[in-house]
Chain A
Amino acid sequence: MSSGLVIQSVSKTFASPTGPVRAVDNVSLTIQPNEFFTLLGPSGCGKTTLLRMIAGLDIPTTGSILLDGQDIAPLPAYKRPVNTVFQSYALFPHMTVADNIAFGMKMQGKPNNEIDKAVKEALALVRLEDKGERKPAQLSGGQQQRVALARALVNHPKILLLDESLSALDYKLRKEMQIELKRMQRETGITFIFVTHDQDEALSMSDRIAVMEKGNVAQIGSPQEIYDKPATRFVADFIGICNFVKASSLGLNDNCDIGFRPEDASFTVGRGMGKGTIRHINYRGAVTHYIIELEGGESITLSEDDPQNVAVNDVVSVVIPTERLIRCKV
């Protein structure tokens, strides 16, 4: 019996006034047990639809979803050992925090003493021990987020789905929650499937990332693989900053475009791969960005850790280690 979640050629077509829309197009992927897996992509790429099909809130048009060998695609949401942390949290406003967390276990008919104990533990896991009797509206956004997490985790699902769950939080809170989420995933040993459009979040939290584009998976791999060896130009562009220039602009003999990351390139006043003029210097604190216009007219961005002794309109040469060049298929 294969364990983990296996998605086999799943498609989802929605009816719309302008004709059917294929939100997810023949996607196949396997998610290992205890993995922190991220579906990353711009809005409309199908990542949320895929998540909703795993949750059972949408039914695939074709394909199967196997969880530990069992096809769960035909099962309604309430029969799946899968729980979701919704983007809007979707806490029940008429119930206390404790009742919200107890909801799943109550619906499953678990005994009361077991529920009480589990709710206490869940409140402790998300560090809201003293907030059990509050109503959701009396909590801050970050606290509501943690209640939503507790409400899902208390059921010990095989898979926890997180739908853009951090995007409503402010920057500092988001960073804290990223670390919290990783901690909870380690402590509970539950598979996390995280949907986000934030590449930063994806890179820092995931064991593996699937980058999605227009209903398809563009690439699956570890954060490092995706960043260093993007399979397509779309992936390279979506994850971090990537310069793309004609090979000839860098003095290379190739008829495709060549990509490179700003931090992989440096410049020199001596000989390099291509000559250009510095147009802008953006000091960003940790790094400094240099916008350089190459002789062919293409504009590229370079970043250096320390400010260099150059000025706008200086002519420099660009140097990139050959192994850092990105030659994408597309």
Chain B
Amino acid sequence: MQGIRNAAPWLLSPFLLVMGVFFAAPLLLVVGYSFMTAHYPGGVEFPLTFEAYTKIFYDTDFDGNKVFDSSFLLICWKSLKLAGLCTILCLFAGFPMAYFMATRPAHQRNLWMMLVTIPFWTNLLIRTYSWILILRDEGLVNNLLMSAGIISSPLTLMCGDFAVGLGLLYSYLPFMVLPIYANLERMDWRLVEAASDLYATRWQTLRKVTIPLSMPGILAGSILVFIPSIGSFLAPQLLGCGQQMMLGNKIENLFGQAGDWPFGSAASVALMAIVMIGLMIMSRRGGIKELV
């Protein structure tokens, strides 16, 4: 035992190397870039400055004066709103799915699990493109509704919050289903019987026993949905027709066309800050303390 303890720092080095190269270094690079001066059309140069962070709140007019500009903050708010909405919708859709899967006979569960993971077999880009085929004016939904005579002119499904939200929901639903399923599958279902024996209706059992006991899964799923959806890039780009800008698109734009790498880096740091605040709120709401 003593020998293992002595060797521990050395044995950690592969892990530290991987973490350093793939996690710490890129992060430090981004934070570093955010404090540098933009070198158009791309790249950074000295001197160090807070310029990029002021761009989050201010724009510079023709005379060189700084005027308050809410456009970036509105993008942040929109991203937060869509990601939050997406997380909640994923939860409402994903929990029943996970519950259904976990209550199937054991030999059927793997089949259901495979069905949930089938979308991962195809690239997200392709799957998002196929949503365009479904949602556009001449798309599947409109054609069906019109041939059924329910509507006379096509509904505008594309390019709005609806299409973006639907795209996010579709992309990240499995990330909600799988952790909740893993949680429910491990759950002691005799507790559900006990609740029913103690006069709890199905609904009361769900609220007082099943949901509290699946909180770790719900929390893990919410985090796995919220983080990628707030930085999501494809759904707003393709289904929002480029008109619905989220943080991911803004950052892509800053590093690409706008060529303002420091602002892009500062926006990335802002995104991380929003994610962290979001996680803190979620873990409060999730009642981590209650679970211990």
Interface residues of A (CB under 8 A from B): 55-57, 76-79, 82-84, 86, 88, 90-94, 103-104, 107-108, 151-152, 155
Contact B196 A90 (CB under 8 A): no
Residues of B within 8 A of A77 (CB): 193, 196-197
B281 to chain A, nearest CB (A): 21
The list of the 4 closest CB pairs from A to B, nearest first, reads A90-B194, A104-B198, A107-B199, A77-B196
How many CB-defined contacts (below 8 Å) exist between A and B?
61
In the complex the two chains form, what is the Cα distance from A79 to B209 in whole Å?
18
Chain A nearest CB, measured from B214 CB (Å): 11
Within B104-155, the residues touching A (CB, 8 Å) are none
Instruction: Report whether B199 and A90 are in contact in the complex, using a CB–CB cutoff of 8 Å.
Output: no
Residues in B198-231 with C-beta less than 8 Å from chain A:
198-201, 204, 208-209, 212-213
The minimal Cβ–Cβ distance linking A122 to chain B, given in whole angstroms, is 13
Report chain A residues within 8 Å CB of B208.
103, 107
B residues near A90, Cβ cutoff 8 Å: 188, 190-191, 193-194
Q: How far is the CB of A65 from chain B (nearest CB, A)?
A: 15
Contact assessment for A94 and B195 in the assembled complex, using a CB-CB cutoff below 8 Å: no
Shortest Cβ gap from A34 to chain B (Å)? 21
Q: A88-B190, A90-B190 are in contact. Are A103 and B195 (CB under 8 A)?
A: yes
Name the B residues within 8 Å of A86 (CB-CB): 190, 193-194
Q: Which of B194, B196, B209, B212 contacts A76 (CB 8 A)?
A: B196
Contacts A94-B290, A94-B291, A103-B208 given: A78-B194 contact, CB under 8 Å? Answer: no
Contact with A along B175-197 (1 / 0, CB 8 A): 00000000000001011011111
| A16 nearest CB across to chain B (Å) | 12
> Given A78-B199, A88-B190, 6 other A-B contacts at CB below 8 A?
A55-B197, A57-B193, A90-B188, A103-B195, A107-B199, A151-B198
In the complex, the chain A residue whose C-beta lies closest to that of B189 is A90
Asked if B199 and A155 sit within 8 Å, CB to CB, the answer is yes
Query: What separation, in Å, do the CA atoms of A147 and B200 have in the docked complex?
Result: 18
**Complex: A208 Cα to B39 Cα, angstroms:** 93
Given contacts A94-B212, A94-B291, A107-B204, contact A78 B196 (CB under 8 A): yes
In angstroms, how far is the closest chain A Cβ from the Cβ of B106? Answer: 12
With most chain A CB atoms within 10 A of its CB, the pick from B196, B197, B204 is B197
Flag if A78 contacts B212 (CB, 8 Å): no
Q: In the complex the two chains form, is B196's CB within 8 Å of A93's CB?
A: no
For B194, the chain A residues whose CB sits under 8 A away are 84, 86, 90-92
Residues of A within 8 A of B204 (CB): 107
Cβ of A162 to closest chain B Cβ, rounded Å: 12
Cβ–Cβ < 8 Å partners of B199 in chain A:
78-79, 104, 107-108, 155
The answer to whether A84 touches B197 (Cβ under 8 A) is yes
- Residues in B with CB closer than 8 Å to A103 are 195, 198, 200, 208
Q: Which residues of B contact A84 (CB under 8 A)?
A: 194, 197
**Chain B nearest CB, measured from A294 CB (Å):** 50
Q: Which of A76, A82, A83, A103 has the most CB of B within 10 A?
A: A103
B197 adjacent to A83 (CB under 8 Å)? yes
6 A-B pairs whose Cβ atoms sit less than 8 Å apart in the complex: A76-B196, A77-B196, A79-B199, A84-B194, A88-B188, A91-B194
Q: How long is the Cα–Cα vector from A152 to B291 in the complex, in angstroms? A: 24
Contacting residues, chain B, for A76 (C-beta < 8 A): 196
Residues of B within 8 A of A155 (CB): 198-199
Taking the closest CB of chain B, its distance from the CB of A157, in whole angstroms, is: 9
A183 to B277, CA, bound (A): 57
A107 and B197 contact, Cβ closer than 8 Å, known pairs A90-B190, A94-B212: no
